[in-house]
Structure 1
Amino acid sequence: MSTARRAAGAAKTPGQLFGLVFGAVYVLVGILGFIDPLVGDDDRLLGIFGITPLHNVAHLAVGALLLFGSRAPDTARIVNLVVGIVYLLLGVLGLFGFLIEDGQAIDLNNNAAGTVLHFATAALALYFGTAGSGDDRTTSTA
């Protein structure tokens, strides 16, 4: 597919589609985290994922960033890489308990389910920021 056709908005790269879909999901999760019946008394979204208001705002910000990045292939690649690196760091911090309530770093009320999702998001974002970006400008060494 030519770059000119992509620029005209006819088709999006896999990296852009990732940003569009995951951006919408993260915005939705950020909004749902503020709805009391879905959170309950234990500060767990749907009874599974630990959250705080800061966590919800972070989801809204990441979702907005991914949606913004999905507008152009180069922007999607860069945003996906940045989100992937940040979520990899969050996964590692969560693994060592730095993101739990009253934790040693940030109070994001993260739990094991959240840590697994951070690693999954990191893996997908890094993939779509690199090999799966859909960027046609790769060079081959023959």
Structure 2
Amino acid sequence: MNISMSSQSPAVSGSTRLQVQMVSGLFGAVFLLVGILGFVPGITANLGSISFAGHHTDAALLGLFQVTVLHNIVHLLFGIVGMLGLRSRGLAKNFLIVGGIIYAVLWIYGMVIPMESMGNFVGLNTADNWLHFVLAAAMITTGFVFGRKSRG
């Protein structure tokens, strides 16, 4: 049996498109979950001290990641966009790559801005900073790996 490359293109293309969209949806679902859990007492320690923004909060998701209302809203927005990536290969790829770049900038910002300064308006701590680094690397990598178009 001789199978030409062109007969395999649609399946490969559909598979790639589905993968990038599923990865976007997975990131989106996790961001939505994290955004919601940031408002749940018990899962977020010291929730009574949460502030809208800034470093003046003792609220910590899982007792580790400092959160503010603004921080949680950003997670929810990222979650919505990630879930919308389920509808479009292009949106999914852009969400992963651009979102990853945003997290890389946020990581650099968190490393440069003193945590107790007014400049820390998002309310970041060391755990947040390193999670942002991991998210940046994972999102950018998956965006490029799963978002590339197959050759047909």
Q: TM-score interval w.r.t. the shorter chain?
A: 0.7 to 0.9
Alignment match of 2:104 (pick from 84, 88, 103): 88
Instruction: Say whether 1:65 aligns with 2:81.
Output: yes
1:21 and 2:26 correspond:
yes
> In 1, distance between residues paired with 2:13 and 2:109?
42
Contact kept, 8 Å, 2:16 with 2:149, in 1: the verdict is no
Q: CA deviation at 1:70?
A: 2.5
- What residue in structure 2 maps to residue 36 of structure 1? 41
Q: Is the 8 A contact 1:97 1:103 kept in 2?
A: no
Task: Say whether residues 1:111 and 2:125 are aligned partners.
Answer: yes
Separation in 2, partners of 1:137, 1:74: 16
Q: Determine whether 1:126 maps to 2:140.
A: yes
Length-normalised TM-score, structure 1: 0.81
Query: Aligned pair in 2 of structure 1 residues 51, 79: CA closer, same or farther (>3 Å)?
Result: same
Please say if 1:55 is aligned against 2:71.
Answer: yes
Q: Distance in 2 between matches of 1:45 and 1:25?
A: 14
Q: CA deviation at 1:65?
A: 0.7
1:72-99 superposed Cα distances (whole Å, 9 cap, x missing partner): 222211121110111110010011136x
Tell me the CA shift for residue 135 of structure 1.
Answer: 2.6
Q: Say how many residue pairs are matched.
A: 133
Tell me, in whole angstroms, the C-alpha distance in 2 between the residues paired with 1:12 and 1:133: 7
Give the letter for the 1:128 counterpart: T
Cα 1:3/1:72, change in 2 over 3 Å: farther
CA distance in 1, matches of 2:151, 2:87: 18
Contact 1:30 1:57 in 2 (8 A): yes
Structure 1 segments unaligned to the other structure (5+ residues): none
The residue type paired with residue 79 of structure 1 is F
Q: What is the TM-score when the length of structure 2 is the normalising length?
A: 0.76
The AA in structure 2 aligned to 1:38 is: I
Identity among equivalent positions (%) equals 32
What do the CA deviations read for 1:104-129 (whole angstroms, capped 9, x no partner)? Answer: 1x522111111111111111111122
